[in-house]
Structure 1
């Protein structure tokens, strides 16, 4: 018989409306087999019972009676109001006055028993642990009849049960332990017959009974444990813990706003997280189900369609060994120091025996290898009790000087970094400490067991939140697990998939082995974006997949229309989607000519990715926008590489950066910055008309996607601005002069329209070249950058000059500086074409690899 166990927490049971929502979930899930339900008290009820009970001690009998009677009235009103709501939400045909009377009678009886116990507390003026547990059990005893009633009103057969009738525990009141085999038999005896009759048992969580019949409890949050105890006894298919959150988070969302739900956790990871402050789980929840390998789900009653968190033992390490970081606050550190402890057996035993005798819980232990210091963390409310116990027990060692001092540091928090895969990955501790160091968080003590499941660190309480946020960011816990370890990967996101991208993809494949050998990294394309949308594969596309993708684009099939393609409102939407995944070292590569890419550049840095660009437009924007962009990348500690924007694969920007880094000052830069226009000049000299020369350059892949950007001189202008800003020659006071071969109004026209316009200029251009040749000169499209001045246009130069001798797509950049004043530094070579531009992009990728590896 397939049985599943559902537990609903206090917020899920918080009102009649919420209980009705719970019945809807049960109705949907009951189709899949038998259900057993465990319920908590209505939200706030257990706290109210505790507060009322504690307040009675010290009051007169009359004052106490008045107080608890007011609370009983409050509880009656709340639970009866829930009954009203349940009835109003029930189809009229299912409403039963008799059932309503029965549930009201049960609640009234519970409240009468509660009054009698409170009356006894008033007279005795003490609260034993046994009495406290019995009082606390009434929260659940008041709630389960409500849920059972609601289910019956929905047409189900349901029966409420009190767990302290059949779950057996020891006498550890307040933190009772279940008696295994006896309880399993008792649970099966009570519940299995009901399941066979298709009755839904609704059972009180949180409590059980001793062999002598006294009610006991498992501690706050113990309903989770009740559910897994019952699930294990029944060999349940699964246990689902329903609460008011979508699952178990990578950190407390109140402290780390970007925390996300963890899809899968190992039992051991969940146990560690529950100990270190993850409130969704009771600390002992996993114990009953581990041996039987029953999966436990954490889901949201108010968002039942969310997938939640699955806790099981088939968890893969995934793309990162760290799953979560969590913290427990209000701790204190006790430091025991003394050279006399070294090599002396029994000291540690004395320390822990003393603390055990006083019921002091030790939450962290750290000992130096020299045995000179022992550091303990304990709950801060227990620290003075612990210090007194240690001073008493170790008095002889203190008097003899074996122990020099026992000191206390209060207001401490313990941060736990949890992950089942730590032992398979080196450097995790270093990254944790590095992240805390960058946040100026001082680590007071650290502990890590040989299982390497958890790194625990003690920090000052006021630094805890900042520490959690930095660790969370360091391990990118806000991103989705892609299922494989990505730390040895550089993940590439391509904007644009034209000829340059095609050549780059081939280069990456050709150089893969050499890159792996040199950097220990694999470069893989995980996303390709065009104007229609994008295709993504977080594990990386194979070469053949990319070739097929390009072939389809060449046939006019946009990415969004290809298999597994996705539409996107904007490129930023696509970027945000891919960067939700926990990639290795993500790098965005802009291979477009988009003039609207500046927001993409900014969002890339904000999403903690690096960027390589062959697109000049976002870097030639208004100077203020440019400065803001550079400041953003610096503040986010991201890399922006732009070598391919000028000179394709020539090391022009790298040369300028090196000159400045070594203390040189650049005075001017001039030359021919466009391989495309250089090729046009050569073709025109050879006698081709302007229209045919442009067609030749386009067919060979040398022009911008819009050839008018080259012909107007805008492309050269952008390159000149980029070089001038890199050389610190240009700021907001820049003056610009540009005279192109065509007017700016031709930009954006179709190629057919452009060729038609160009044919009108054929004779005029031919005459200019003929006139220059008669004078022994050549025409070249040049740029010159001096302090805050840029001049771009067609120049007539001596045939034997350096610029006059240029052929084809060659670029030449002439740099004058304080060091290179009389004889300038010259960089020259092919400066256009998909292959050399792709080489420039790859060079920038390898520079990033060298810095990030």
Structure 2
């Protein structure tokens, strides 16, 4: 790919710290609007001593950056945060953009069609960003972004052409193309904040988040990520600037673009927050926080005022869509509160996640479920009195980078669940020498979560009495002490969750209001 001004010269490689590669959007991201006569910029109207040294990280999901109205709300929220604390902004791609890019990748992988054919899907994607910039950014910022968008469109088209020509590079090319969603979103948000007289600065997230080379689900390299994040962002924060980064994306130490997996922008926010010792990580989405159940299943699901890290981790892992499953670990390790808020209703307190989960009411906090589960049962008399059997079994899943959710064992069998079936045929083939493998598809995991499960007797009896006419398997309790997990037929999962919610959440709304008032509200 030919180098273009302001963009990395080599496809797939992010500019490394200390390199001479210019910031892709530097020429538009320092532009701020002309102020009205006599009006001070926000950064100069606040005494430095009044702004907390520890930054607050604000992450905005796809629906919170979906259109011009959403970005205006975002600017107001960033302004509010910036008035009292140093602020870092992490953004997802605009709603639907990542899906559109990956659909284009899949189509290109078939190798059909003229490589030079028009690509209306790219034109629509670029025009969507440009239309928002034209409405919200100052003319100079919109024009600069327009130039960058045109270059991005040409580069994406060239990368799509390479997909068919270079099948061995498809995983890396897929990540690089997908990364444009967050990169363009971050540039657009920076221009919008600049037009609102907020001193925003675009930062290429690939200069901060270093990962391994597992394309599509890369694992961060934590010491390097902390070092690079501090080096990139601390000087900007010291200069009273607002760094704006795209979530979801990173790069290998060699500069090759990677992604953290779908929903990884939350994880990006947690990694940045941990590296900077943030006072709080805020996840801005389109719901009022974490709910007691999936509202698509339970119509009267309620917002949970506060959660412990352990509760939130279980809910995220077992189906709550508001948080990425890996988000909590960096926050837990550094004791950073995580707040989940609704960008469309910023006055709502949301859900605050801390070590203790203050302000909770009741024994059970929430019910999560995950559909589309496959159960594997491996039976072998070789387990009797043998050591090393389980190690060999789980090494199969490790080789195929497949996560196991629930595990139960007996003297001669192991039952476990997986929700990623991509490598299942290969896994089953490698398991067969270990024993007889039985497969059950179309299952669902149901997880009852609550700190009260640690100390309250009779919860399991109450749960299973409520669904006594429904077949249950793989019952697991005790590993984390805050959940009771079991497996049911996929077709009965909704009914199970609805029954349990009705039985376990008998509090009246007034009681929940009291609990919410006890929790800490938005600063």
TM-score with structure 2 setting the length: 0.84
Tell me, yes or no, if structure 1 residue 16 matches structure 2 residue 68. yes
Aligned counterpart, 2:241: 199
Aligned counterpart, 2:102: 50
Cα distance in 2 between the residues matched to 1:39 and 1:578: 35
Contact 2:130 2:145 in 1 (8 A): no
Shift of the 356–33 alpha-carbon distance from structure 1 to 2, 3 Å rule, reads: closer
Counterpart secondary structure, 1:430: helix
* Equivalent in 481, 484, 489 of residue 460 of structure 1: 489
Tell me, yes or no, if structure 1 residue 300 matches structure 2 residue 342. yes
Aligned counterpart, 1:279: 321
Aligned counterpart, 1:149: 191
Aligned counterpart, 2:156: 114
Cα distance in 1 between the residues matched to 2:77 and 2:451: 32
Shift of the 447–577 alpha-carbon distance from structure 1 to 2, 3 Å rule, reads: closer
Cα distance in 2 between the residues matched to 1:375 and 1:248: 30
Alignment of 1:203-602 (within 5 A): 203-316=245-358, 318-338=360-380, 341-368=383-410, 371-379=411-419, 381-382=421-422, 383-391=424-432, 393-394=433-434, 405-437=436-468, 440-476=469-505, 479=507, 577=510
Counterpart secondary structure, 2:304: coil
| 1:501-545 residue CA offsets vs partner (Å, 9 max, x unmatched) | xxxxxxxxxxxxxxxxxxxxxxxxxxxxxxxxxxxxxxxxxxxxx
Runs of 5+ unmatched residues, structure 1: 88-94, 395-402, 481-575, 583-853
Cα distance in 1 between the residues matched to 2:382 and 2:276: 55
Shift of the 412–214 alpha-carbon distance from structure 1 to 2, 3 Å rule, reads: same
Following superposition, the deviation at residue 357 of structure 1 comes to 2.8
Tell me, yes or no, if structure 1 residue 71 matches structure 2 residue 100. no
Alignment of 1:137-176 (within 5 A): 137-176=179-218
Contact 2:304 2:360 in 1 (8 A): no
Aligned counterpart, 2:4: none
Following superposition, the deviation at residue 338 of structure 1 comes to 4.7
Cα distance in 2 between the residues matched to 1:456 and 1:324: 12
Alignment of 1:25-40 (within 5 A): 25-40=77-92
Following superposition, the deviation at residue 287 of structure 1 comes to 1.4
Aligned counterpart, 1:630: none
Shift of the 340–37 alpha-carbon distance from structure 1 to 2, 3 Å rule, reads: closer
* Equivalent in 126, 130, 134 of residue 84 of structure 1: 134
Following superposition, the deviation at residue 153 of structure 1 comes to 0.9
Counterpart secondary structure, 2:245: strand
Contact 1:358 1:389 in 2 (8 A): no
Following superposition, the deviation at residue 27 of structure 1 comes to 1.6
Aligned length: 462
Shift of the 168–461 alpha-carbon distance from structure 1 to 2, 3 Å rule, reads: same
Aligned counterpart, 2:9: none
Cα distance in 2 between the residues matched to 1:343 and 1:8: 53
The alignment's C-alpha RMSD in Å is 2.1
Aligned counterpart, 1:187: 229
Contact 2:130 2:142 in 1 (8 A): no
Cα distance in 2 between the residues matched to 1:205 and 1:410: 34
Shift of the 579–322 alpha-carbon distance from structure 1 to 2, 3 Å rule, reads: closer
Cα distance in 1 between the residues matched to 2:117 and 2:462: 59
Contact 1:110 1:141 in 2 (8 A): no
Further displaced range: 233-242 or 78-87: 78-87
Following superposition, the deviation at residue 218 of structure 1 comes to 1.0
Further displaced range: 456-465 or 194-203: 194-203
| 1:121-151 residue CA offsets vs partner (Å, 9 max, x unmatched) | 1323555322221111100111111111111
Shift of the 579–314 alpha-carbon distance from structure 1 to 2, 3 Å rule, reads: closer
| 1:398-432 residue CA offsets vs partner (Å, 9 max, x unmatched) | xxxxx5x4221111001111122311111222122
Further displaced range: 69-78 or 2-11: 69-78
Counterpart secondary structure, 2:322: coil
Following superposition, the deviation at residue 305 of structure 1 comes to 0.4
Shift of the 86–464 alpha-carbon distance from structure 1 to 2, 3 Å rule, reads: same
Contact 1:9 1:39 in 2 (8 A): yes
Contact 2:210 2:253 in 1 (8 A): yes
| 1:172-199 residue CA offsets vs partner (Å, 9 max, x unmatched) | 2222222223222222222122222222
Cα distance in 2 between the residues matched to 1:127 and 1:386: 24
Cα distance in 2 between the residues matched to 1:340 and 1:152: 66
Cα distance in 2 between the residues matched to 1:579 and 1:208: 40
Alignment of 1:666-745 (within 5 A): none
Further displaced range: 378-387 or 451-460: 378-387
